[in-house]
Amino acid sequence: MSVNTTDTGVELTAVTMGIDRFERSHAQGESLLDGEGLVPIYIGEDVVAPRSYAGWDEIFADLDALAARPDVTADDARGVFLTSMVKSVKTAARLFSGETMSYAEKVRDLVGAEPAPTAEARVAELSDQLDTALTGSGFVRGSLRDRVEAWEEARAIPSDKLEDTFRELMAVAKARTADMIYDTGDYDMQLNPLRNVPFTARCGFIDRRMDLNVDNAFTRAALKHLVGHEVYPGHATQLLYTRAEVDAGRSPADALLCTTNAVTGCVQEGIGDQAVELIDWIEDQDDVIHLALRSLKSAVQTTAAWRLMEEGESAESVADYMRTVGCGQEAWVQGRLRMASHPFRGPFVPSYFAGNESVRRVRERVGEADRAAFHDYLYGQVHSPESLEMFGTTGVAA
């Protein structure tokens, strides 16, 4: 289709997808993203086609032109997002073209998260929350890690019950998402168990499957979180929602870039990690325990990646920190170490904690009367953490 270059959202999408296509076709087996691309899942080919590029000079010229547009430099929420997004995509292009930069620079400019470890006071606060939650269920003996292991062992889903539990949770999550956020229609996912992968779970949107690393053991509360994160009302729901809003003319075309490995990733992961809360699905004390454990692990992995990649601490020392303070299973520890050491994916480790904190802060201050408007803002557009937290401020409808 012919791209309307007077529309910044269309232009940004065409340029970003052009970079994605150029990087995939010219990496010749040496892609920083191992063939995944800058935008792992794009369902807007029939809406905005990728720009065709022959070299990096053309790409940087288009990005510089975008950066100078009046709506990009505006100080409203839209301008705040566009400024950070253009900078982020340009940082990705710089890396793809062979430039090197520090881990801190990538966290700041590519991911849009604070280039720092999680504050020790925040880690301590989350540890105390987990301690209180475990005590409330009678898990009081031993270290915090010992008590987490005892709880996980006591609540572990038997392997032969995993599929049935997944289907049960999917049905409830889908219904609650339809009632509270968005009706996903006949969209569904199948469970795809995997081993020896660096992630805990992954959204296979196109193939309609949720990959699950069964090297980990899962409680019902943990599997519930992953169903929420990857499917309803997480990644899959966000993709369906944004496409529908773009089709209806209510959202800018760049909403289709919600899965981009850029500043949009923080809020994407924040939606996933806040998914259970977004559909008010905290049912029992096990859910409270898992919420506290997940938040602690997210904070700890942020510090762990910083120590490994910015401070040069040994992998074994960092792994021990993740085991003892983060109370993580070994498959999670090793998977996060593999992700953190990846030259492009590594700086996205902090995106989970940064995004969760941003979505949580806004969700907790939004009243019931503004809930639908918040969902439109959260799902119908793409955001950086900063632009998301402008919801309800001057010039941003609530």
Q: What is the pLDDT of residue 25?
A: 87
Q: What is the pLDDT of residue 87?
A: 98
Q: What is the pLDDT of residue 5?
A: 53
Q: What is the pLDDT of residue 118?
A: 98
Q: Does residue 251 come out as left (phi exceeding 0), alpha (psi in the -120 to 50 range) or beta?
A: beta
70: buried, middle or exposed (CB in 10 Å: 19+, 13-18, 0-12)? exposed
- Show Cβ contacts of residue 369 under 8 Å, excluding neighbours closer than 6 positions: none
Q: What is the pLDDT of residue 392?
A: 87
Question: Quick count: other Cβ atoms within 10 Å of Cβ 114?
Answer: 17
SS (H, E, C) the chain: CCCCCCCHHHHHHHHHHHHHHHHHHHCCCCCCCCCCCCCCCCCCCCCCCCCCCCCHHHHHHHHHHHHCCHHHHCCCHHHHHHHHHHHHHHHHHHHHCCCCCCHHHHHHHHHCCCCCCCCHHHHHHHHHHHHHHHHHCCCCCCCHHHHHHHHHHHHECCHHHHHHHHHHHHHHHHHHHHHHCCCCCCCCCEEEEECCCCCCEEEECCCCEEEEECCCCCEHHHHHHHHHHHCCCCHHHHHHHHHHHHHCCCCCHHHHHCCCCCCHHHHHHHHHHCHHHHCCCCCCHHHHHHHHHHHHHHHHHHHHHHHHHCCCCCHHHHHHHHHHCCCCCHHHHHHHHHHHCCCCCHHHHHHHHHHHHHHHHHHHHCCHHHHHHHHHHHHHCCCCHHHHCCCCCCCCCC
Q: What is the pLDDT of residue 297?
A: 98
Identify which of 43, 112, 53, 58 has the alpha carbon closest to the alpha carbon of residue 388: 112
Mean pLDDT for back-to-back runs of 10 residues, the chain (398 residues): 68 97 79 78 97 97 98 97 98 95 98 98 98 98 98 97 98 98 98 94 97 96 98 98 97 97 97 98 98 98 98 98 97 96 96 97 96 97 97 68
pTM: 0.94
Instruction: Give, in order, the Cα–Cα distances in Å from 368 to each of 102, 117, 179, 358.
Output: 43, 34, 14, 18
